[in-house]
Structure 1
Amino acid sequence: MFYDIENKSLKYDDIFLKDTIIINEEGQKEKAQDTYFLSACDDKLLKELGFAKVKEEETPSFDEKTEELHQIQNYDEEKNLYIISYEIKEKTLEKLKELKLEELKAIKEQKLLFIPFKDTIFQIDTEAKINISGKISEIMLANLNNTPLESIAWIDKDNKIITFSKEEFLEFGVSIAKYTESIIFKNDELRNKVKNATSLEELNLIAWESEK
């Protein structure tokens, strides 16, 4: 890897073609190209060609949760050396809050996919809720019309068929509504705590699992 001084960019291959002029057998000037392998050039020739060697320092280890890695690029004209170094900076409280909010959102979305009920786990994503609402409407209509509807078969998360009575399925629907509401309210509560946090220590104490 080399540094292109004029274009201020990195060159990742080793070959450089330099435009030149040659005199052919008829004494006429023709455009041509000289081929250089940059890795074989000394520092003086490299600079004449408009390039510098690149020195990249080892990437330091850091805590990705609370720190950020910043790359520093600097061209030392006197040494004709392009130096890539790294420094570690602590993330600002506002940045950490943003990350915490993203974490809470991911947890909320995951929790809203499934619900425990009747000793098993059921899927309750958007499509599942539409299907459940449709079945509840069917039960309500059957009740109004005194139509027999003794049991409802539903599939759980593991594709196992679970049998519900009408009353159990209606209870299932109510549980989903309450569960969804509790997750949304919980998320809002934790989000407000994050936004109001005034220190990293306070922010670290905010966690879905630790909340009751």
Structure 2
Amino acid sequence: MKTGFSAATLAVALALLSPLAAADEASPSLSLTPVVEDPVYTSEDMARLAQLDNGIIVQGADLDTPDGYTSGFRLTAGYSPYRLPQFDLGAELTYRTSDEVPLSMAGESLLMNTTSVGGSLVAGVRLGHLGLYAKTGFAEWNGDPLEPGESARLATAGTSRVNGFGARLDFPSVSGQLEFEEIDAPSMQHLNQLTASLHIPF
């Protein structure tokens, strides 16, 4: 009697558990922190440092110019509004230092060390595979000529506006980005950049 009752109970339990197990296999796994696409204004070489529960993505990358004079880093924090997922909003912090940059100022050539710290607000929009973005902000900078004497009067420091815009094209097999950034200061002309990149994942 007990054996028959135990067997019947086990059969009923297995019958009840089987649909639950099948449902678990069919349903996708859920995560407390949703996976969010990188903002349109970030480049492929930027590492994702953190993704906060509120959807903000923090990314960073080292900076250097092709001429080898400048190095530094860039840190961005951005998110897509919940009701407007095709838009990206964010902020950018940039630090750059340059050593012995050849410049021409006030009719004379000189070498100058420069340092700049800037912050910008960034906004982008996704149009299918194409993304467009623009940024604006300010940079605190200073430049120190290396030559003594009369060129010392050109030692400068100040705050200038930073403007930039760019476009990003994303496909599964290839992505490209084009960006222009300008600091409105004669001493910082070497930091004005037009960059283009092409990434082919494999």
TM over 0.5: no
Which structure has the highest strand share of the two? 2
Larger Rg: 1
Greater helix proportion: 1
